[in-house]
Amino acid sequence: MKYEIQKDKILIFDKSEFCPKHILECGQIFSYKKTDEAYIVYSSDKKAIVVEKSNCCEILTDDVPYFVNFFDLDTDYSQIKCDLLKKYPFMKKSIDFGYGIRILKQDFFETIISFIISSNNNIKRIQKILFNIRERFGKNMGDYYSFPTPQMLKIATEQDFKEMGAGYRAKYLVKATEQLLNVDFLEVAKLDTMQLNKFLLSIMGVGQKVADCIMLFAFAKQNVFPVDTWIEKVYCTYFEQEHNRDIIHKKLIDTFGDMSGYAQQYLFYSQREIKE
């Protein structure tokens, strides 16, 4: 996608490929705040302010390269939408609805912790817990706190996580942090989808759905399809009545192949947002 870089700013002129609301509210990220005129996005120890103007979108940040990668700006989503539409015409409504979605490339550790917290939980509380973790164990960056590294978070106890609102997931978070303490994420990122999946499933609190989310939203794997309650509804609408998640998961991967990740986001977002 075409974009322009200035000192502390990225300018995006093609709003058909970049909609802040679609990108941030399509379920892939929890650490952001919406204000009247902008979204403030927090990732790792970085911050960006995303403003939608009449003729363009602006990303204000002191780490431009990080957010060029984070927002996946060098991928052509017009082409992706075209390919999807051609192969799967039933997706037209979903793609038209979430036309400005882009799949983020988020911090590995932060994404793992975030989605462990997401299980059987609601978005509001997930966001609250994550900001609690930042405030209590992150680094003070002035007007915000960084997300702690595994080394910073290892001092957190089960009691600490409970106090921050994690509930029964507290013990998962302690164990997961410990498991990830000496992991080289650059090496992990080299694994193929099957190997990465196996690694992620070995982390306490990570099941198949959470593993799929981590692979898609942090490791940029496209041949994964997170199946949650919303996708189950999609499946019942467009495919067939089926309530076994494993079977739904397998059939969706079979159907969408290497386009699974993208397809999932358009279908998920439209299913959740379009009230009928």
Residue with smaller CB distance to DNA, 3 or 262: 262
Minimum gap (Å) between residue 246 Cβ and DNA: 7
State the Cα–Cα distance between residues 203 and 188, nearest whole angstrom.
13
- Shortest distance (Å) from residue 196 CB to DNA: 14
Give the three-class secondary structure for 205. Answer: coil
Beta strands in the chain (DSSP E): 4-6, 9-12, 32-34, 39-43, 46-52, 57-60
Residue number, 168 or 239, with CB nearest to DNA: 168
Quote the distance between the C-alpha of residue 191 and its chain's center.
19
Tokens of 33: 């705040």
CA distances, 244 to each of 232, 233, 275 (Å): 9, 12, 25
> Taking the complex as a whole, how short is the minimal distance between the CB of residue 11 and DNA, in angstroms?
27
> How big is the chain, counted in residues?
276
CA distances from residue 12 to 59, 69, 235 in whole angstroms, order as listed: 8, 14, 34
Largest CA distance in the chain: 53
Which is closer to DNA, CB of 10 or CB of 95?
95
Q: Which is nearer to DNA, 213 or 224 (CB)?
A: 213
- Residue whose CB is less far from DNA, 77 or 115: 115
Kind of pairing between the strands at 9-12 and 57-60: antiparallel
Is 115 within 8 Å of 29 (Cβ atoms)?
Answer: no
Cβ 234 to DNA, closest distance in Å? 12
Give the tokens for residue 7.
């000192």
Q: Which is nearer to DNA, 3 or 32 (CB)?
A: 32
Q: How far apart are CA 27 and CA 272, in angstroms?
A: 10
CA distance 180 to 81: 36
The CB-of-29 to DNA minimum distance in angstroms stands at 7
List contacts with DNA (CB under 7 A).
26-28, 118-125, 162, 165-169, 172, 203-211, 213, 226, 228-230, 244, 272
Between 190 and 250, name the residue whose CB sits nearer to DNA: 250
**CB neighbours of residue 17 within 10 Å:** 23
Residue 97 Cβ vs DNA, minimum distance, rounded to whole Å: 15
- Least separation in angstroms between residue 21's CB and DNA is 13
Closest-CA residue to 105 (of 260, 15, 254, 214): 214
